[in-house]
Amino acid sequence: MKLNSQILSMPPSGIRAMFNLAEKYDDVISFGLGDTAFDTPKNVIGSVKKAFDDGYTHYVSAQGLPVFREAVAKKAKEFNGIDCTADNVHITFGAGAGLLLTFFTLLDPGDEVIIHSPCFPNYHQYICLPGAVPVVVDTYEKDGFRITAEALEAAITPKTRAILINSPCNPTGAILEREDLEQIAAIAKKHDIVIVSDEPYETILFDGRKHCSIASLPGMENHAITVNSHSKSYAMTGWRIGYIIAPVKVREQMSLLQESMGSSVTSAVQVAAAEALNGPQDVVWEMTRAYEKRRDVLVNGLNTIKGFSCAMPGGSFYAFPNITGTGMKSQELAMMLLDKVQVVTIPGTAFGDAGEGYLRMVFAQEEDTIAAGVERIRSVFGSK
C-alpha cells in the first residue's frame, strides 16, 4: 500500500523514543516527558462534569463556543495586552493542532518558515506537512539560547513567509524579553512576514520575570498569530484544548479548514476551559512557585556533578544542562543513564543539531523525585 511521501519523511520523536525505551526498565525516574505532576484544578474538573450533565454532548461551531472564545479574548487583553475580540479567537485540539492549522492556512508548498534550534521537534512536522520548508537558525548558550535579530535577517529570503518563536522555550527554558521581541517585530514589519508565537508556557516564568506577547506590540495586529493552550498553565495536558488568536480574515479560514479536520473541539471541554480562565487563578501561580523551587533543586544539583554545567532557565519546566564536560555525546549519555541508573533524560539532538552536547530534563515532578534522580546521576559521574 503506497503511503504519503510527507508522512514517510517525518522523523520519529526522540522524546517518545526514550519514553518507549524506559518502559523496559523497573524503578525508573523520568525527566523525559513534558507533563506535570499536578492534577487539573478541581473547579475545572467539576465544570466538565456539570457540562456533560447539562447536555454539552453535541456538535458546536468549528470556531468554538462563545463562552470560551470570550474568556480567551478577555484574558488576552488583560494578561497579554493583545487587542482582540472573540471573533479573533479560534479553538483548537491543543497548541500542536493549532500550529498545524496555522501553517496549513498560511503556507503554500515551497514557502519558508524560520525556526530556531534547539526547538520542539514537532515544529518541523507542522511546517513540512503543508509542503513548506523549515529554515533553521541555531541559537547558543552564550546568548541564553535567544534567537537574535541579526541571525533572523541573515536567514530571510524571498520565500520567507513566517517566523516561528517560542518563549518561554521548550527545550531550553529561554526567554525572549520585550527588547528581543521589538527587534523581531521590526523585522516582520520590514519584510511583511508573519510571526507565529507559540506561548503555552506563558505563566511559568521565574525570578520575577513577566511574559510579553509579540502580538501586543504596536503595529503587529496583522503580523502576529498567537497559539496557546491550557496544557501547562492549568495542568490539562490530557484534555487537548488550545486556541489561536489571529486577524479575523485569517481566523475565518482556520475555522473553515477545521470543519474538514475534526469539526469542533469537545463542547464540554470548552466549557471547562472557560471555567479555568474565569475561575480563581491562585492555583496557576502556586504551580509556578512550585516549579521554581523544583528548578532550583535540579539545576543546583546538576551543577555539583562532574562534567555537568547548567544555566538557570528563565521559564518553562525544562533544564538544558551542558554535558560536554563528560566527554560523551548526548545520545550516548542519555542511553547510559537509562541503562545504568534508570534515569530518563532526552538527548539534546532530539531538538536539532544545535542540541548536541546537552540534555533536556523536565523538573515538573516532586522535589524528592528530582533530588533522587540527581543522586543517581551523581553515582555515575561523582561530585565536582
CB atoms within 10 A of CB 146: 19
CATH of the domain at 168: 3.40.640.10
Query: Quick one: 262 and 343 in the same domain?
Result: no
Contact yes or no for 212/184 (Cβ under 8 A): no
Instruction: Give the chain's radius of gyration (CA, Å).
Output: 21
Domain edge (last residue) among 225, 256, 278: 278
Structural domain contains residue 49: no
Structural domain contains residue 358: yes
C-alpha cell at position 281: 487563578
Query: Quick one: 241 and 342 in the same domain?
Result: no
Residue 138 identity (one-letter amino acid): D
Q: Domain range for residue 110?
A: 58-278
Give pLDDT tens digits for 179-188.
999 999 999 9
Contact yes or no for 217/82 (Cβ under 8 A): no
Structural domain contains residue 259: yes
Structural domain contains residue 46: no
Rounded CA-CA distance 251/183 in Å is 26
Tell me what pLDDT residue 14 has. 67
3-state class (DSSP) for residue 165: strand
Tell me what pLDDT residue 12 has. 66
Domain edge (last residue) among 261, 278, 295: 278
CATH of the domain at 349: 3.90.1150.10
Residue 278 identity (one-letter amino acid): N
CB atoms within 10 A of CB 19: 15
C-alpha cell at position 253: 479560514
Domain edge (last residue) among 222, 256, 278: 278
Torsion of CA 200, 186, 141, 338, to 10 degrees: 30
Query: Quick one: 127 and 229 in the same domain?
Result: yes
Tally of residues, the chain: 384
Give how far Cα 118 sits from Cα of 5, 320, 358, Å. Answer: 25, 10, 10
Q: Which residues of the chain have pLDDT under 70?
A: 11-12, 14
Structural domain contains residue 131: yes
Tell me what pLDDT residue 154 has. 96
Helix ranges (DSSP H) in 279-318: 282-302
Helix ranges (DSSP H) in the chain: 5-8, 14-22, 42-53, 66-75, 94-106, 122-128, 149-155, 178-191, 248-261, 267-278, 282-302, 330-341, 367-381
Tell me what pLDDT residue 101 has. 96
Give pLDDT tens digits for 302-318.
999 999 999 999 999 99
DSSP 212-223: --GGGSTT-TTT
pTM over 0.85: yes
Beta bridge partners of 228: 243
Number of domains in the chain: 2
Contact yes or no for 64/46 (Cβ under 8 A): no
